[in-house]
Amino acid sequence: MDAKRAAAERAVEWLEDGMTVGLGTGSTVYHFIQAVGRKVADGLTIKAVATSVRSEQLARQLGIPMISFSDVEDIDVTIDGADEVDPEWNLIKGGGGALLREKIVADASKRLIVIIDESKLVRHLGQFPLPVEVVPFAFELTQRKLRQLGCELRMRMAADAQPYRTDNGNFTMDCEFGPIEQPGLLADALHRIPGVVEHGLFIGMAAQVIVGRSDGTVDVLDRPRP
């Protein structure tokens, strides 16, 4: 079985009747939403909120009951993918362009479970370019400030050769910092740039990581001790 799918299908074990569930975004989460759809068809009673228009549409097609954020008090568990996971379980997310909603949903969740294939486990974050969501207004100035933090960046483009727009109407800068030795400090520095809406560093947010391997086996890893 595909490694991403193996991790995704294991994650449904964390769902229980009555839960409000956050649905992440990406190709791994695609398999998770499919598996949730099957569980719902078999009688599981959950409500879900989605981190992207894409995930929401897929969930609705599969008959998963969706609720609006204005009706959400607590999210019991969110299942989402990641682009990189370091040994302290800091994450880079946003390869799929949904990092802002993903971070809002993860922050509102009692538990964030990350589903990945083994290639996403890294010693240091930074081989994957860090996505940063910026407002279109004066984005050139924001790009300059980002470069001053020591990265090379490119603006993410859509298939029509126009800047890629997030579900929130913003731009995404993919920033190559090289190995990120102190992700927490970089996260703080990024937040100090006014045009930055959010960045893809998820520091200390994951509670569990489910790793699918190419032979179809799955490891469920608990949070490392600080």
Q: Compute the distance between CA of residue 172 and CA of residue 164 in angstroms, rounded to an integer.
A: 7
**DSSP string covering 92-148:** E--TTS-HHHHHHHHHTBS-EEEEEEGGGB-SSBTSSPEEEEE-STTHHHHHHHHHH
| Residue of 81, 36, 94 whose CA lies nearest to 60 | 36
Q: Compute the distance between CA of residue 168 and CA of residue 4 in angstroms, rounded to an integer.
A: 27
Cα first-last separation, the chain: 34
For the bound state, the minimum distance from the C-beta of residue 18 to ligand 5RP, rounded and expressed in Å, comes to: 26
The smaller minimum CB distance to ligand 5RP, of residues 94 and 183, is found at: 94
Which part of the chain contacts ligand 5RP (CB under 6 A), choosing from 10-18, 80-88, 104-112, 157-165? 80-88
**129 is an interface residue for ligand 5RP by CB under 6 A:** no
Among 6, 21, 24, 44, binds ligand 5RP (CB under 6 A): 24
**25 is an interface residue for ligand 5RP by CB under 6 A:** yes
Among 85, 99, 125, 210, binds ligand 5RP (CB under 6 A): 99
**205 is an interface residue for ligand 5RP by CB under 6 A:** no
Among 5, 6, 26, 75, binds ligand 5RP (CB under 6 A): 26
**96 is an interface residue for ligand 5RP by CB under 6 A:** yes
Would you state the structure tokens that stand for residue 111, as one six-digit string?
A: 């538990």
Q: Provide the sign of the torsion angle of the four alpha carbons 195, 201, 204, 207, taken in this order.
A: positive
**22 is an interface residue for ligand 5RP by CB under 6 A:** no
Which part of the chain contacts ligand 5RP (CB under 6 A), choosing from 81-89, 149-157, 177-185, 186-194? 81-89
Q: Compute the distance between CA of residue 173 and CA of residue 162 in angstroms, rounded to an integer.
A: 13
Does 133 participate in catalysis according to the annotation? no
For the bound state, the minimum distance from the C-beta of residue 226 to ligand 5RP, rounded and expressed in Å, comes to: 24
Residue type, 214: S
Q: Would you name the residues annotated as active-site residues?
A: 102
Residues interacting with ligand 5RP, by CB under 6 A? 24-28, 80-83, 93-99, 102
